[in-house]
Structure 1
Amino acid sequence: MRLKLLAVAVLMLALLPGTAHAAPFDVETATRAYLDTLQGAARAKSNAYFEGGYWLVLWGTLVSVLADGLLLRFGLSVRFRALGERLFKRPAGVTWITALCYTVAGTILTLPWSIYTGFVREKQYDLMNQSLSDWLIDQGKDVGINLLIVPLIVMAVYAVIRRFPKNWWVMAAGVITGFLAFGMLIGPVFISPLFNTYTELPGGPIRDRVVAMAKAKNIPSEHIYLFDASKQSKRISANVSGIGPTIRISLNDNLLNRSTPQEIAGVMGHEMGHYVLNHVWWSLAFLSALAALAMFLVSRIGPALIARYGARWGGIRDIADPASMPVLGILIALFFMLATPLTNTMIRVDESQADAFGLDVAQEPDGFASVAMKLSEYRKIEPSALEEMLFFDHPSGATRVRMSMQWKKDHVPNAQMVVPSPMPQAELTPQ
């Protein structure tokens, strides 16, 4: 009898007004709560910016092909080679001059497109903080770096073509791999500081949290860098860069100033995932394989095109002639455009693995979900599955939020759904 009375009492207590009922945590409901914070003009702007990028891949390739086509049509690459032959006796010197002129000409011909995509469009979508003059200064630095490095790469590739005329593509792929590794080694130390100032992340709760996360996974944490990306754009970002002794984890000041401690922890945990999972080395291996395939195709298609059209292009002799650079440029541009889904998938898989690692180390599922929503300023939040596979080099915001909420359900006892604040409309409304 006492048991029956106790049961009735419990039932009546549960039915009293105002009594809390803890509903099971639902991943889809929690995910939708975050996704619905981006609505109206803000979502339309985000979608328009990112979807426009799909076309930029195509139009950018066509611009590159057109520039190389003009160099061939007017015989300019042959004139560049002739200039090299007047100045140098050795093939290496001829190739160096030809590559230098080719790089300058290509930069000039594609400059209007670069201004539109790199400055005008970014300004249109309120993502750019630089003036045109400041942006052009950065572009000048980039051109200067290209004028130093590109001719060296071209010299090495053409030296291989001359030395190994039958199977040069194998050695050329090795040359490209070597330059990729060298660039990744020196980039963080010597190149990145030309564009931004890198300093140690200041001491305090944020650094203490990041260092604790790093130590928990046996990650070197003596140097965690902060760089001033806000002088260029409004994008929040962090990265892991370098190889070997130059590997470093960096975050930009936009992330530090626009994000909560929980969001920063989620992002930095993600970046630590890249380090622990050796994504830099996997990326180098993948890009090297892709370069080998590209060189193989060029070695088969390039000579046939030159044999048929070389005379019409001003007198290109063969594939070993440095005047053939625009031919190689066209073929490589088309190859990497067609390979975009492959490169996107490789990067996206790495990013997804780093997301999972970051959730484990930071244990901030809501922080990571909310920062994924902030990335919607320049990434479409809810693409179709096919769209995400073809065009996204990172998991979409919806994928990341859903992963975060699934992690929360699986790892947080008595998980409760958070009601996130709406995304700020003023920042995202088109100008």
Structure 2
Amino acid sequence: MRFRFLIFCLLVTLTMTLPCALGAQTPSAASSGRQVQSPAGSPERPAYSLPPDKLARAIKYSRIRVILDFVGTGWGILQLILLLTLRVVAKMRNFAVRVSRNRWGQCFVFTFALLLVTTVLNLPLDLYGQEMARVYGQSVQGWGSWSWDVGKGFLLTFVFGGLLVMLLFWVIRRSPNRWWLWFWIPAMILVLIAVFVAPVLIDPLFNKFEPLARTDPALVDRLEQVGARGGIKIPPDRMFLMKASEKVTTLNAYVTGYGASKRVVVWDNSISKATPDEISFIFGHEMGHYVLNHIPETLVFSGFLLLGEFYVGYRGVRWLIAQYGQRWNIPSQNDWGALVVLLLVLSVLSFLSEPIVNSYSRMHEHDADVYGQEVIHGIVQDPQRVAQQSFQLLGEMSLTDPNPNPFFEFWTFSHPSVSSRAAFAAKYNPWVEGGHPKYFVK
């Protein structure tokens, strides 16, 4: 999620299941990262491992990230309950109504007040998370730049969140008993629009991009080779270098957008730290999401999930207002304060559905790993070794613990473990006699 403000919870619910980039998520591992014994009895080095000093740091940092994840979710839910119980929401509603008689004015005043309060309440955790990223070498972004990104995120959330809130309450007023269905339709349309415009309008607000051909024309030729083998034509003028090194130390390369906005993005960290073969695999993985139709499949999956959450949200809002509306001073679902009640229900539903969403995502990520390894066959000399080394490098740069708690992996991780991915890559060889590649003819 790009922004971590609670009012954005509604927008996040719309987009939380879109495919993610290969190196952007926190991976995890179960037993596959531990040393095993070879038949001769000598220890066999796992496909992904870390030296002792880096392993200790990875374990500590992974625990911090998991704690922040669960604490952040719990605090987000708790603060909504407190804002309702202490009637802060009702006071913000009253303030918005006093400031303007126009519903558009009321909507944006209330949205701004709620966003401001929740941003301040979330700020300690956000500051701590950024400081830990700096301490553990994952971020090199200065506090001024970080604050500017937060400010831009605030403004974007205010503008687009306010429009979405206005649409929501217009639908509620028009169809009190079926708003969950009628709001779902434009919400899904907005998701499609967001996926299309984000690479062109949103991403450049947070990172610098320049033509990849200007920096590394040889890599452009290589990526065109990979794209041609996969049947995707992306011209060089749609290949970009992102100056990720100004903010983070991790690696990535991905395909984003669709139609006229589709483009290749390679982080400058990847060029400086990974080989062209490794970048080819990372790019091939991301290309797999497109070729294998993961984006439309995920939109369908998330659409049905979202429809169910909206229906439960509708039922939950009506029940909560009937039970606690008088105590909260929120008389009906037409009240601006009902937005916070809906956010509360959606926050709980989002947390409970997280394992379902992540399990679905891990399935797609594994398929993309297979595709990425197959698509570079014949382009790189040893696809197995290249893929395994790519995961080794990604894990090292991201300080990924080879052996985190399996429960945390099941609940919070959208990608398979780096250990299991590296082990699979090292063993996957369908080009031997009798083997059959899954997506390509030998």
Q: TM-score, normalised by structure 2?
A: 0.81
Q: Which residue of 2 aligns with 1:149?
A: 160
Cα distance change on mapping 1:268 and 1:36 into 2, 3 Å: closer
The 2-side partners of 1:412 and 1:230 are apart by 40
The 1-side partners of 2:121 and 2:365 are apart by 35
Kept after mapping to 2: 8 A contact 1:365/1:407: yes
Letter in 2 for 1:398: S
C-alpha deviations, 1:105-145, integer Å up to 9, x for none? 2112211111112x112122211101112211111111111
Q: 1:275 aligns with which of 256, 269, 290?
A: 290
Q: Which residue of 1 aligns with 2:413?
A: 392
Kept after mapping to 2: 8 A contact 1:369/1:404: yes
Letter in 1 for 2:95: L
C-alpha deviations, 1:357-382, integer Å up to 9, x for none? 11111122211111101222333334
Q: Which residue of 1 aligns with 2:144?
A: 133
The 2-side partners of 1:170 and 1:266 are apart by 41
Q: Which residue of 2 aligns with 1:422?
A: none
The alignment status of 1:372 with 2:386, answered yes or no, reads no
The alignment status of 1:183 with 2:204, answered yes or no, reads no
Higher relative contact order, structure no. (Cα contacts within 8 Å, ≥ 6 residues apart): 2
Structure 2, unmatched stretches of 5+, are: 1-37, 378-382, 434-442
Return the offset for 1:336: 0.8
State the secondary structure of the residue aligned to 2:190.
Answer: helix
Letter in 2 for 1:197: K
Q: Which residue of 1 aligns with 2:246?
A: 231
Return the offset for 1:34: 5.0
Q: 1:73 aligns with which of 85, 103, 128?
A: 85
The 1-side partners of 2:414 and 2:274 are apart by 23
The alignment status of 1:248 with 2:269, answered yes or no, reads no
Letter in 2 for 1:72: L
Identity fraction in percent = 27
Q: Which residue of 1 aligns with 2:426?
A: 405
Kept after mapping to 2: 8 A contact 1:103/1:150: no
Q: Which residue of 2 aligns with 1:423?
A: none
Cα distance change on mapping 1:253 and 1:34 into 2, 3 Å: farther
Q: 1:165 aligns with which of 172, 176, 195?
A: 176
The 1-side partners of 2:432 and 2:67 are apart by 42
Kept after mapping to 2: 8 A contact 1:176/1:288: no
Letter in 2 for 1:186: V
Q: 1:350 aligns with which of 354, 357, 364?
A: 364
Q: How does 1:85-104 map to 2 (within 5 A)?
A: 85-104=97-116
The 1-side partners of 2:45 and 2:220 are apart by 30
The 1-side partners of 2:349 and 2:330 are apart by 22
Q: Which residue of 2 aligns with 1:220?
A: 233
Letter in 2 for 1:392: F
The 2-side partners of 1:411 and 1:33 are apart by 24
The 1-side partners of 2:69 and 2:46 are apart by 30
The 2-side partners of 1:104 and 1:32 are apart by 54
Q: Which residue of 2 aligns with 1:6?
A: none
C-alpha deviations, 1:185-217, integer Å up to 9, x for none? 111100100111112213433221111111122
The 1-side partners of 2:404 and 2:77 are apart by 30
Q: 1:360 aligns with which of 374, 391, 406?
A: 374
Aligned-residue CA RMSD (Å) = 2.3
Q: Which residue of 1 aligns with 2:326?
A: 311
State the secondary structure of the residue aligned to 2:139.
Answer: coil
State the secondary structure of the residue aligned to 1:129.
Answer: coil
The 1-side partners of 2:227 and 2:263 are apart by 12
The 2-side partners of 1:159 and 1:32 are apart by 63
Kept after mapping to 2: 8 A contact 1:34/1:373: no
Return the offset for 1:91: 3.5
Cα distance change on mapping 1:88 and 1:386 into 2, 3 Å: closer
Kept after mapping to 2: 8 A contact 1:366/1:405: yes
Return the offset for 1:32: 5.1
Q: Which residue of 1 aligns with 2:212?
A: 201
Letter in 2 for 1:340: E
Letter in 2 for 1:372: F
Cα distance change on mapping 1:329 and 1:320 into 2, 3 Å: same
Cα distance change on mapping 1:42 and 1:92 into 2, 3 Å: same
The alignment status of 1:340 with 2:359, answered yes or no, reads no
The alignment status of 1:45 with 2:57, answered yes or no, reads yes
Kept after mapping to 1: 8 A contact 2:270/2:279: yes
The 1-side partners of 2:431 and 2:57 are apart by 35
Kept after mapping to 1: 8 A contact 2:277/2:386: yes
C-alpha deviations, 1:313-332, integer Å up to 9, x for none? 2x211112111222122211
Return the offset for 1:262: 1.6
State the secondary structure of the residue aligned to 2:327.
Answer: coil
Return the offset for 1:312: 1.9
Letter in 2 for 1:40: P
Deviates more, 1:250-259 or 1:237-246: 237-246
Letter in 1 for 2:70: L
Q: How does 1:93-132 map to 2 (within 5 A)?
A: 93-117=105-129, 119-132=130-143
Return the offset for 1:73: 3.0
Q: Which residue of 2 aligns with 1:424?
A: none
State the secondary structure of the residue aligned to 2:163.
Answer: helix
Q: Which structure has the larger Rg?
A: 1
Q: Which residue of 1 aligns with 2:96?
A: 84
The alignment status of 1:321 with 2:340, answered yes or no, reads no
The 2-side partners of 1:169 and 1:148 are apart by 22
